[in-house]
């Protein structure tokens, strides 16, 4: 674990009883990977001008936070990679807690028989295997299987396999912009990245079937070295034990001297659920998963209706 000393000037104010607002990105204030509506922009600026401390709360690493967010100039902190890293407004890490390379490699080995496609986050950079995105977008997995079969049959087969792999790679690169956003470095395997890392901030994996994802969840839940979030039927996100968006939010609130009651979180997905116990009010988006709405303090309108802006305008004087 790494923590930078606290800046003596670091202290949040609490206008309208709100000192810190944590904002999920995708599906909450960001649509299409990068777009932030004009109304949401205006409301964030207004809240910040009134003294509310604003923080991103995202599964993305800092370098994959859209420029449209960073250039607003109002985000004071970035709770990234599901709480394993906190960056200040300049992008400098002030907290981090991830996997050591040996632990990350062991987890990858536990699931190897399920043929996952991996992505990992190291030093605020994302690295993704081609297989990860072929699973996530579907359809291309058949070509991947054909490539593997052809590649085992000698020179002629290897040529056919290489062609199929190139086709899969082309589809996967297209998926990077749609599914994962810009910033991923594509790899056939991320194991080399993991072995060379000082720390792996977060791991993710996707599978060809829901059965394989179910099995992976069961295996990881049976041991105590990680936290697992089921993001979609085929996709898992994995952080070190005791690390999630909730612990990141609590760490930042403590650093700023903001009480739990004066902390608000917004979100729409499964990895936002740990915020529920860490903030005074958790606001689910109208477009959120049903399980997220069920435990929220309240539900605001959808992202298409600028729900965050509507809530902030009503609650920040």
Q: Is residue 114 packed enough to be buried (19+ CB in 10 Å), middle (13-18) or exposed (0-12)?
A: middle
Helix, strand, or coil here: 309? helix
pLDDT of 136 reads 73
Q: Give φ, ψ of 79 to 5 degrees.
A: -90, 105
78, 66 in Cβ contact below 8 A?
Answer: no
Q: Mean pLDDT of all residues in the chain?
A: 86
pLDDT at 95 > cutoff 90 = yes
Q: What is the pLDDT of residue 87?
A: 97
Q: What is the pLDDT averaged over residues 75-87?
A: 97
pLDDT the model gives residue 5: 64
The per-residue pLDDT for 133 is 75
**pLDDT single digits (tens) 139-198:** 334 433 444 444 434 333 334 444 444 444 444 444 444 444 456 888 999 999 999 999
In this structure, are residues 132 and 205 in contact, taking their beta carbons and an 8 Å threshold?
yes
Percent of the chain with pLDDT over 70: 80
Stretch among 129-138, 281-290, 294-303, 304-313 having the lowest mean pLDDT: 129-138
Examine the pLDDT at 292 and tell me if it is beyond 70: yes
CA dist 19 to 12, 48, 90, 257, 294, Å?
6, 10, 20, 9, 25
pLDDT tens per residue, range 16-37: 689 999 999 999 999 988 899 9
Which pLDDT does position 186 carry in this prediction?
86
């Amino acid at each position: 674990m790494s923590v930078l000393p606290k800046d003596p000037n670091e202290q949040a104010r609490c206008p309208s009883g709100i000192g810190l607002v944590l904002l999920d990105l995708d599906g909450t204030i960001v649509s299409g990977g990068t777009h932030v509506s004009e109304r949401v922009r205006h409301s964030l600026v207004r809240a910040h001008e009134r003294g509310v401390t604003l923080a991103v709360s995202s599964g993305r690493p800092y370098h994959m936070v859209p420029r449209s967010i960073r250039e607003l100039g109002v985000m004071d902190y970035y709770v990234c990679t599901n709480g394993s890293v906190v960056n200040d407004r300049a992008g400098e890490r002030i907290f981090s807690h991830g996997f050591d390379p040996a632990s990350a490699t062991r987890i990858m080995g536990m699931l190897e028989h399920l043929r996952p496609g991996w992505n990992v986050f190291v030093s605020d950079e994302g690295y993704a295997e081609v297989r990860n995105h072929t699973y996530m977008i579907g359809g291309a997995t058949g070509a991947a299987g054909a490539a593997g079969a052809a590649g085992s049959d000698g020179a002629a087969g290897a040529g056919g396999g290489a062609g199929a792999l190139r086709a899969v790679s082309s589809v996967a690169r297209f998926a990077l912009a749609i599914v994962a956003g810009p910033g991923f470095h594509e790899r056939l395997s991320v194991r080399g990245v993991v072995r060379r890392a000082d720390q792996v901030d977060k791991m993710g994996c996707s599978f060809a079937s829901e059965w394989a994802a179910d099995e992976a969840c069961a295996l990881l839940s049976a041991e105590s070295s990680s936290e697992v979030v089921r993001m979609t039927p085929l996709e898992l996100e994995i952080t070190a034990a005791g690390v999630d968006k909730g612990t990141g939010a609590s760490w930042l609130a403590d650093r700023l001297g903001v009480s739990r009651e004066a902390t608000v979180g917004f979100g729409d997905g499964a990895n936002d659920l740990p915020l529920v116990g860490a903030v005074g009010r958790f606001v689910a988006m109208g477009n959120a998963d049903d399980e997220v709405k069920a435990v929220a303090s309240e539900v605001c309108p959808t992202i298409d209706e600028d729900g965050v802006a509507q809530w902030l305008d009503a609650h920040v004087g």
